Chain A
Amino acid sequence: MTALLEVHELSAGYGDSDILHGLSLRVDDGELVAVIGPNGAGKSTLLKTLAGLVRPRSGRIALRGADITGAGTRRIVASGLCYVPQEANVFPSLSVWENLTIGAWTAPGASNERARAVVDLFPVLAERRRARAGTLSGGERQMLAMAMALMVEPRLLLLDEPSAGLAPALQRLVFDRVREINARGLGILLVEQNARESLALCQRAYVLAMGRVRAEGAGGALRDDPEIRRLYLGG
């Protein structure tokens, strides 16, 4: 079976320095895969490279068998891969509704119906549809960022630390939504600081350190691995 996303020996970085060193991973259709690892491991760089913001130096990225290595952001989003950045993931001076409009840029037809479906998932956005995104709370902003990505009905969602900086109750809400989106059949590649929560949530996970995959396996197995616990889960 072709994987939804197949990354083979990927190297990428900024300027002259490589951050990712020959990294390989895969996400299957409808799978929720977590990526954990210490600060500066290259998790965000990985997602940026997959989204087309950072050019791969070598290696191969394939989405449902189609080679998208080095493709531009437009082609990537049009082929079903949607990226939600860690920071600055909404347009602050645009209203919530306008943000959703931009989210649907590559698939403008029927965007009203899709907006309604997306808002069903995040009811708070309906109440605040006219508010400028810059005035939203941290939780609302994160919901909007995810909602924008869902506006094009992607096959694969890349989420960069969706729970960062949120109060525990909101974190739980975000993780619930991630689970629900995944239950609808979307593949998700989830980068998280909150390693315990994401290992519990995912089907498989990769542990990243210094731009390389250090371990991979089922979420539960990694969580119970004493070595991983000691290094990445704080004992």
Chain B
Amino acid sequence: MPPIAQYVFNGVVTGGILALPAVAFSLLWRLLRFPNFAVSTYLTVGAYVALVLNHGVRASIELAWLGALVVTGALALLVDRIAFRPMRDRRPFSLAIASIGVAFVLENVVRFVWGNDFRSYDVPVTRGMSVAGLRIGRDQLLILGVAVVLMALAQAFLLRTRLGIAMRATADNPRLAAVKGVPTERVIALATLGGGGLAGGAGVFLGLDASIDPLMGGGLIISVFAAAILGGIGSAPGALAGALIVGIMEEVGMLVVPPTYKTAIGFTIILAVLLVRPTGLAGARS
């Protein structure tokens, strides 16, 4: 049996991947005031977009990753225009249900076109490294590095740029932002594009780290949800921390509970946060 450190390392990689949709989910929740359950399905979309590019036109995986980022972002924007924008003033509950509908449709389109088989990318085989008894894949390190850089960029955007400040202002109070002249619908479009892109990119990572199938993203919704509320809704660094904790707990949890109960770990985290500290790690915003 591999040492516990191996599970922790795998959990960190899973957490790094999870952090991208968790940030998207968390920021969109704060901006639009409803949990968008379609976000985790955008991982599936991104993974299959990259698959088409990688298998279909023999694009390198790096290029396919970029393509997935762009196409998934654009799809998220299209979904927002068609499904969510006309419902902007509805209650969060209605919007959340609509997002489940969107996830269902997207998942079944993927299933219809590509079937239920597990697939994988054509990538050059790399030898893993062995460090202090741990198996560490080069892909894993790369994935982790890119995920951390993307998170840092997202955070810098939110804190340091004029548009980032406007995004936080719109999340705080959209009517006041509009009164000050902020183009709130354009801010929402940008967040949707960025969030969709992050989730799509994460889908490719997940496909590289594990495999590609129509349920790969949707199956993560509990983990994404848990990471976001653990971190505190609307906090990018919080979502990163939350994702790492959820990733590690889910992997290490495999030592004690059978893999079929992996989802239960996410559920338990959600319940614990709601009971103990509903505002999450990042504190009393909301």
Q: Is B168 an interface residue (CB 8 A)?
A: yes
Q: How far is the CA of A116 from the CA of B94 in the complex (A)?
A: 45
B162 CB–A CB distance under 8 Å: yes
Contacting pair A77 B180 (CB below 8 A): yes
Chain A interface extent, by class: 20 to 34
Residues on the B chain within 8 Å of A106, using CB? 180-181
Task: Please tell me the size bucket of the interface on B.
Answer: 10 to 19
Q: Is the interface of B mostly helix, strand, loop or mixed?
A: helix
Enumerate A47-99 residues with CB–CB distance to B below 8 Å. Answer: 51-53, 73-74, 77-78, 83, 85, 88-94, 98-99
**Residues of chain A lying within 8 A (CB to CB) of residue B285:** 93
Pick the residue among A88, A93, A102 that contacts B180 (CB under 8 A).
Answer: A102
Q: Which of A121-163 contact B (CB under 8 A)?
A: 148, 152
Contact at B183–A74, with CB atoms within 8 Å? Answer: yes
Residues of A within 8 A of B178 (CB): 53, 73-74
Task: Kindly identify which residue among B162, B169, B181, B183 contacts A91, using a CB–CB cutoff of 8 Å.
Answer: B169
Q: Which residues of A contact B152 (CB under 8 A)?
A: none
Q: Considering only CB atoms, which chain B residue lies closest to A97 in the complex?
A: B165
Residues B181 and A105 in contact, CB atoms below 8 Å apart: yes
In the bound assembly, the distance between CA atoms of A21 and B165 in angstroms comes to 39
Question: What's the Cα separation between A220 and B172 when bound, in Å?
Answer: 41
Please tell me if the beta carbons of A51 and B182 are within 8 angstroms of each other in the complex: no
**Contact in complex: B173, A105 (CB < 8 Å):** no
The yes or no answer to A42 lying at the interface (CB within 8 A) is no
Q: Compute how far the CA of A78 lies from the CA of B181 in the bound complex, rounded to whole angstroms.
A: 7
Q: Is there an interface contact between B182 and A53, defined as CB atoms closer than 8 Å?
A: no
Q: A interface vs B, CB < 8 Å?
A: 51-53, 73-74, 77-78, 83, 85, 88-94, 98-99, 101-103, 105-106, 108, 148, 152
